[in-house]
Chains A and B, each alone.
Chain A
Amino acid sequence: MEPAITVEGLRKSFGHREVLHGIDFRVQAGTVFGVIGPNGAGKTTTMRCLLDIIRPNAGTLRVLGQDPRRGGPGLRRRIGYLPGELALEARVTGRRLLEHYAAVSGPVRPGRIDELAERLNLDLDRHTRKLSKGNKQKLGLIQAFMHEPELLVLDEPTSGLDPLVQQEFLTMLQEVRDRGQTVFLSSHVLSEVQQAADEVAILRDGRIVTIATVDALRESAVRHLRLTANGITADDAGALLGRVPGVGGVEVLAKGSGVKLTAVLEGSIGPLVQALAGLQLTDLVLEEPDLEESVLRLYGNNGNGRRGNGSRRREPQEEGSSHA
């Protein structure tokens, strides 16, 4: 089956400044593909090229089997697009605006618009320019989803949405994937994407740093470890953990007759569990892999090693922690 999106050697310059330096990726049909990167990495530019809003300087693009430059309205009707900077300043109600886009890109199943508005909790009878940022974003999502396009291209879809609506949006993503639709979405934070995406590309300064499945990212990601144990000195505990492959950033505090220890683990947990087996553990927390942190490292220094001994620890996420 042909990929929904194929991008090869995509380059784009604005004036003398090249913002995309030859990007390659494929999005398989029926999957959710996320592109993550800091602001200015080239996510929006890439998406605009797919929609023929801007034209590449070099490279080959195939979207749903067609060149976006030649696909025309017929191709764009098969795509739902949410722009990154959604501007809806018109003096029309949300409903009228959606009806307009339905007339342009339809057909839209009767009742579909109201169904989506209800799910996202949006009042369609208010003037669009009076809507809050979050509500405008909902309107943008509805216009992208309403005609059930084969491909959804969503630039920062969750920006401005409150957590409840974000959750509903993730459910909508699952549903469209289950129906065989393809989703290409961007974000500057991985946590938004990791629940929904099958594959993630990390984009930095107009280059793809890595493309990986979320599972693969998870395996390479760091986990934070906290434990307390009795009957061992701080020195011994530090030495014991220090010998385990993948463990770093060990910090030990003497606590009563035992120790309190924190560390980070990168890679497989097997050796760690073996090393811990001999300890008299009173508490052990091995957190969910922190993808955010591994992505930040990829942004920051192209993945050449971890930061110095826990010098910049993120707040541990209690949610999803696994107590062993």
Chain B
Amino acid sequence: MRSSTMPLFRRAFVDSWRSTLAWAAGLAGAILLYLPLYPSIGGSVQMQEMINALPPEMTKALNYDQIASGPGYTQATVFGLIGFLLMTIATVSWGAAAVGGDEESGQLELTLAHGVTRVQLVLERALAMCLRVVLLAVLVFVLILALNDSAHLAIDSMHLFGAAVEFAGLALLSGTAALFVGALSGRKSYGLGAGAAVGVLGYVFNAVGRQSPDLDWLLDFSPYHWAYGNSPVANGADWASAGWLWGISAALVLLSSLALQRRDVGS
């Protein structure tokens, strides 16, 4: 029918290379800043003493309880905090922009007037987002692996791979939540709110749920805890939880396409 395949995917992916590159630089910067410091901070006796002096609630909330090991340090700093934050912001902004933002700016109307279906549009743009997330996760995986020896992290590469899969799945969940609400409402801000809520509430539920057995039911509602509850950098991924993260993300993409299919655009 056409000579070029998946034009919407290619446009969404290729035209956002600046943004992808910027997030990649941010993630790489964070990794290169944190991990080489492990031998002097995380692994040091003083650091452990300092952590021990902190209130246990605080170390649990920050996931610093295992910071004295290389995998624990990497889990807490890169996957659990700065990487999680950067990736979530990236995917939520991409997800909210993919349909809701495009509609609000008025450009979706023109694209939909061309030879595409709405389902195709959502799927191709979600695929572009997914590919960017995977690329960033690969970057994180490769950089940590590269620093593994020099920073004395002693991370098992299979466990690291599992952690990267969880990391990508967790970010994707926020991103697809933003995509879905954006596609449902046609509003970028609603999408941003929904994606941010998934990320922030997941983090908060994890931090609070870890404080006492009375509150640990909160952990069941925390995607953050699904992904990182068993410290995947140290212990390998919980593949069932990774399946949930990726599966729910996929379901949200399908729901997004149905939501857009059923409503007026730009009204």
Interface residues, chain A, with chain B CB atoms under 8 Å away: 14, 48, 51-55, 72-74, 76-77, 79, 81, 83, 85-92, 96, 100-101, 103-107, 140, 143
* Given A83-B106, A104-B8, CB of A73 within 8 Å of CB of B266: no
Q: What residue of chain B has the Cβ atom nearest to residue A80's Cβ?
A: B113
* Given A54-B267, A100-B7, CB of A74 within 8 Å of CB of B115: yes
Q: Give every chain A residue within 8 A of B264 (Cβ-Cβ).
A: 14, 48, 53-55
Q: Give the CA-CA distance A105 to B114 in the complex, in Å.
A: 6
A-B contacts, 27 listed (Cβ < 8 Å):
A48-B264, A48-B265, A48-B266, A51-B112, A52-B112, A53-B264, A72-B117, A73-B115, A73-B116, A76-B113, A76-B114, A79-B113, A81-B110, A83-B109, A86-B106, A87-B107, A87-B110, A89-B105, A91-B15, A100-B7, A100-B11, A103-B3, A103-B7, A104-B111, A104-B114, A105-B114, A107-B2
Instruction: Give the Cβ gap from A276 to chain B, nearest Cβ, in Å.
Output: 53
* Given A14-B267, A53-B264, CB of A104 within 8 Å of CB of B106: no
Q: Give the CA-CA distance A88 to B108 in the complex, in Å.
A: 10
B212 at the A interface (CB under 8 A): no
Q: Give the CA-CA distance A110 to B109 in the complex, in Å.
A: 26
Residue contact A51 to B113, C-beta cutoff 8 Å: yes
* Given A90-B15, A91-B18, CB of A104 within 8 Å of CB of B265: no
B98-125 vs A, Cβ < 8 Å mask (1 yes, 0 no): 0000000111011111111100100000
Q: Is the interface of B mostly helix, strand, loop or mixed?
A: loop
Kindly identify, within residues 1 to 37 of chain B, every residue whose CB is under 8 Å from any CB belonging to chain A. Answer: 2-4, 7-8, 10-11, 15, 18
For the A-B complex, the count of residue pairs with Cβ-Cβ distances under 8 Å equals: 80
Q: What residue of chain A has the Cβ atom nearest to residue B5's Cβ?
A: A103
Residue contact B107 to A106, C-beta cutoff 8 Å: no
Kindly identify, within residues 251 to 267 of chain B, every residue whose CB is under 8 Å from any CB belonging to chain A. Answer: 264-267
Residue contact A53 to B18, C-beta cutoff 8 Å: no
Interface residues, chain B, with chain A CB atoms under 8 Å away: 2-4, 7-8, 10-11, 15, 18, 105-107, 109-117, 120, 264-267
Q: Give the CA-CA distance A267 to B36 in the complex, in Å.
A: 90
Q: Give every chain A residue within 8 A of B120 (Cβ-Cβ).
A: 73
Residue contact A83 to B110, C-beta cutoff 8 Å: yes
Q: Give every chain A residue within 8 A of B267 (Cβ-Cβ).
A: 14, 48, 54
Q: Give the CA-CA distance A79 to B113 in the complex, in Å.
A: 8
Instruction: Give the Cβ gap from B188 to chain A, nearest Cβ, in Å.
Output: 12
Residue contact A53 to B114, C-beta cutoff 8 Å: no
Instruction: Give the Cβ gap from B113 to chain A, nearest Cβ, in Å.
Output: 4
Residue contact A92 to B8, C-beta cutoff 8 Å: no
Q: Give every chain A residue within 8 A of B3 (Cβ-Cβ).
A: 103, 106-107
Residue contact A86 to B110, C-beta cutoff 8 Å: yes
Residue contact B106 to A87, C-beta cutoff 8 Å: yes
Instruction: Give the Cβ gap from A71 to chain B, nearest Cβ, in Å.
Output: 10
Instruction: Give the Cβ gap from B16 to chain A, nearest Cβ, in Å.
Output: 9
Q: Give every chain A residue within 8 A of B106 (Cβ-Cβ).
A: 83, 85-87
* Given A53-B265, A90-B15, CB of A81 within 8 Å of CB of B107: no
Q: Give the CA-CA distance A126 to B243 in the complex, in Å.
A: 45
Most chain A Cβ neighbours within 10 Å, of B2, B8, B110, B120: B110
Q: What residue of chain B has the Cβ atom nearest to residue A92's Cβ?
A: B15
Instruction: Give the Cβ gap from B19 to chain A, nearest Cβ, in Å.
Output: 9
Q: Give the CA-CA distance A143 to B107 in the complex, in Å.
A: 13
Q: What residue of chain B has the Cβ atom nearest to residue A19's Cβ?
A: B267
Q: Give the CA-CA distance A52 to B110 in the complex, in Å.
A: 11
Residue contact A53 to B117, C-beta cutoff 8 Å: no
Q: What residue of chain B has the Cβ atom nearest to residue A96's Cβ?
A: B15
Q: Give every chain B residue within 8 A of A105 (Cβ-Cβ).
A: 114-115
Instruction: Give the Cβ gap from A18 to chain B, nearest Cβ, in Å.
Output: 13
Q: What residue of chain A has the Cβ atom nearest to residue B11's Cβ?
A: A100
Instruction: Give the Cβ gap from A14 to chain B, nearest Cβ, in Å.
Output: 6
Residue contact B115 to A104, C-beta cutoff 8 Å: yes
Most chain A Cβ neighbours within 10 Å, of B106, B109, B111, B116: B109
Instruction: Give the Cβ gap from B244 to chain A, nearest Cβ, in Å.
Output: 34
Residue contact A53 to B115, C-beta cutoff 8 Å: no
Q: Give the CA-CA distance A91 to B8 in the complex, in Å.
A: 15
Q: What residue of chain A has the Cβ atom nearest to residue B104's Cβ?
A: A87
Instruction: Give the Cβ gap from B121 to chain A, nearest Cβ, in Å.
Output: 10
Q: Give every chain A residue within 8 A of B114 (Cβ-Cβ).
A: 73, 76-77, 81, 101, 104-105
The one of B2, B4, B112 in contact with A53, judged by C-beta atoms closer than 8 angstroms, is B112
Q: Give every chain B residue within 8 A of A76 (Cβ-Cβ).
A: 113-116
Q: Give every chain A residue within 8 A of B107 (Cβ-Cβ).
A: 87-90
Q: Give every chain B residue within 8 A of A52 (Cβ-Cβ).
A: 112
Q: Give every chain B residue within 8 A of A77 (Cβ-Cβ).
A: 114-115
Instruction: Give the Cβ gap from A64 to chain B, nearest Cβ, in Å.
Output: 13
Most chain A Cβ neighbours within 10 Å, of B10, B109, B115: B115
Residue contact A103 to B2, C-beta cutoff 8 Å: yes
Q: Give every chain B residue within 8 A of A14 (Cβ-Cβ).
A: 264, 267
Q: Give every chain B residue within 8 A of A54 (Cβ-Cβ).
A: 264-267
